[in-house]
Structure 1
Amino acid sequence: MEERKVNLWRRLAAGFYDSLLLIAMYFLVGWLMVMLNDGEAVEGPWLFWLLLLVAEIFFAKFWCNPGQTLGMQVWKFRVEQLDGRPLTFRQATARLLFSLVSWGCLGLGFLWALFDKEQRTWHDIWSQTRLVYIDHKKNAKAG
């Protein structure tokens, strides 16, 4: 039996959910930085790197274990290695960085899923990962 592919629209919906969580985390980090800076605005390139680190920790934690962010849980799919094992920290990092490239090329890396027969994006291909749809009804019958 062939696995159901995770389409682009489901990916983007999950990404929207996750972006809301990430923005909330950015607000907390920003607030903390302002408080540590005596209430003054925080500037400088190091803030960009700090926020990128926050995103890295967020995505790596969820992609490595349990293989799903909150958005992925809601939209019923997970990320895994091509052989079905959980992602390594290195793969999660590569996936995040390559997803930034996918967005940075005007979203072409994401649109690639519309033409790929397995509906993979650039960051799926380059990080050697895949998204797998989770059919809870089928799993309940098997158990």
Structure 2
Amino acid sequence: MTNSTASTATPPQFATLKRRLLCMVYEAVLLFGIFFCAGLIFDVSTQKLDPTIAHNARQAYLFIVVGIYFTYFWGRKGQTLAMQTWRIQLVSANRKPLTLKQTWLRYCACWMWFVPAWVVNYAFGIQHWGSIIVLLVGMAAWALTIKLDKNGQFLHDKWAGTELITIPKTRQQIEFE
């Protein structure tokens, strides 16, 4: 006799907005170290460059380094260290293995959290505290894109064909509590 519940796959539990935002805060702390180390390597190796060229090259270099960090870990296990801590995993919406194209598309599209604020700040010459307010308003607006999807996925996840799911606690984690 077979157990019918054992053969039925349980649908994934999609990560909540709160869990995602807390994970993003932790990810930002971890990225500080990556930015620092990568920036130091770049600055030491490009001391003789014209400052304007060096600034733009540094931005491009850091964009690529951070992109490699995210796409490597997303492509490997679907999780960065922060995502492991918060038990969030990036999966393909069709449940096939993530492709390099999907991870890079998601990484580039994730910058939509910041791009609108940069455009508004540049277009209207907003500086200092005003630019921070514009950034926070833009981020809040982007966070609301989660309401546009029946599974509660951000717009950049829809574009990349990915979803963020919550991984259930392991038996060890439950016993530890």
Whether TM exceeds 0.5 here: the answer is yes
1:86 aligns with 2:97: yes
Deviates further, 118-127 or 28-37: 28-37
Pick the aligned partner of 1:68 from 72, 79, 103.
Answer: 79
Identical-pair percentage: 26
Counterpart Cα distance in 2 of 1:104 and 1:40: 27
Counterpart Cα distance in 1 of 2:26 and 2:97: 22
* 1:14-39 C-alpha deviation (Å, 9 max, x unpaired): 11122222221111122122322459
1:58 aligns with 2:91: no
Residue of structure 2 in register with 1:6 after alignment: 15
Residue of structure 2 in register with 1:132 after alignment: 165
> Where do 5+ consecutive residues of structure 2 fail to align?
1-9, 117-137
Letter in 1 for 2:26: Y
- Cα drift, residue 122 of structure 1: 0.7
Letter in 2 for 1:110: A
- Cα drift, residue 115 of structure 1: 4.7
- Native 8 Å contact 1:60 1:89 kept in 2: yes
Say which one has the larger Rg: 2
Q: Any idea what SS the aligned residue of 1:44 has?
A: helix
Number of residue pairs aligned between Structure 1 and Structure 2: 140
- Native 8 Å contact 1:82 1:128 kept in 2: yes
Residue of structure 1 in register with 2:7 after alignment: none
> Where do 5+ consecutive residues of structure 1 fail to align?
none
- Native 8 Å contact 1:99 1:123 kept in 2: yes
Letter in 2 for 1:113: I
Residue of structure 2 in register with 1:120 after alignment: 153
- Native 8 Å contact 1:7 1:113 kept in 2: no
Q: Any idea what SS the aligned residue of 2:153 has?
A: coil
Q: Any idea what SS the aligned residue of 1:131 has?
A: strand
Counterpart Cα distance in 1 of 2:43 and 2:60: 16
* 1:30-85 C-alpha deviation (Å, 9 max, x unpaired): 21223224599963311111010011100000110111011110111100111222
What's the TM-score, normalizing by structure 1?
Answer: 0.84
Q: Which runs of 4+ in 1 moved over 4 A?
A: 38-42
What's the TM-score, normalizing by structure 2?
Answer: 0.70
Considering only aligned residues, what root-mean-square deviation do their CA atoms show, in Å? 2.4
